[in-house]
């Protein structure tokens, strides 16, 4: 029996007018590198950070190509894996992304109208 791995995750880039969302599943470095080297369109206003913010994802090259304004990390509070990794947080902040985390902010919602993007969490809203 074959078992699906993180790199078998579905990745979607959704475009609505001037806005784009990148939803990355649990992909890791090899898939990110492949997407960058293949020249896939990666730029996005909103990034769902891969693999819960694990250090195995969100490489410098991928983030430079994606260059998100907002990033959302789905991770549990005080999880045993230490997600998100400190180096991933540093890379996202170096890209200038406003980072939201489900362990600190609760549910994260992103809504766009083709021109304006609104990100809200259980705690606050950003335009």
Peptide linkage before 84 cis (omega within 30 of 0): yes
Q: Answer whether residue 110 is part of any domain.
A: yes
Domain that holds residue 70: 6-126
Write the CA distances from 67 to 9, 41, 77, 78, 120, integer angstroms: 21, 12, 26, 28, 20
Q: Answer whether residue 105 is part of any domain.
A: yes
pLDDT at 11 over 60: yes
The closest of 26, 23, 20, 3 to 12, measured between CA atoms, is 23
Q: What are the pLDDT digits (tens) for 67-80?
A: 999 999 999 998 99
**Across residues 40-51, what is the average pLDDT?**
96
Q: Answer whether residue 80 is part of any domain.
A: yes
Q: State residue 2's pLDDT score.
A: 61
* Residue 58's CATH number: 3.60.15.10
Q: What are the pLDDT digits (tens) for 47-98?
A: 999 999 999 999 999 999 999 999 999 999 989 999 999 999 999 999 999 9
How many structural domains does the chain have? 1
Rounded Cα gap, residues 98 and 78, in angstroms: 21
Q: What is the band of 114 on the pLDDT scale with cuts at 50, 70, 90? A: very high
pLDDT at 45 over 90: yes
Q: Answer whether residue 30 is part of any domain.
A: yes
Rounded Cα gap, residues 97 and 79, in angstroms: 23
Q: Answer whether residue 54 is part of any domain.
A: yes
Is the full-model pTM beyond 0.75?
yes
Q: Answer whether residue 90 is part of any domain.
A: yes
CA 41 to chain centre: 15
Q: Answer whether residue 55 is part of any domain.
A: yes
Q: Answer whether residue 1 is part of any domain.
A: no
């Amino acid at each position: 029996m074959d078992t699906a791995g993180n790199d078998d995750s579905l990745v979607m880039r959704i475009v609505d007018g001037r806005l784009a969302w990148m939803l990355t599943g649990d992909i890791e470095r090899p898939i990110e590198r492949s997407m960058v080297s293949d020249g896939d369109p990666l730029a996005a206003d909103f990034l769902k950070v891969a693999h819960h913010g694990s250090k195995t994802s969100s490489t410098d090259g991928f983030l430079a190509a994606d260059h998100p304004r907002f990033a959302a990390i789905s991770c549990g509070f005080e999880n045993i894996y230490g997600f998100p990794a400190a180096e991933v947080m540093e890379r996202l902040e170096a890209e200038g992304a406003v980072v939201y985390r489900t362990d600190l902010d609760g549910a994260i919602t992103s809504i766009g109208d083709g021109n304006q993007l609104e990100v809200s969490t259980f705690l606050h809203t950003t335009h």
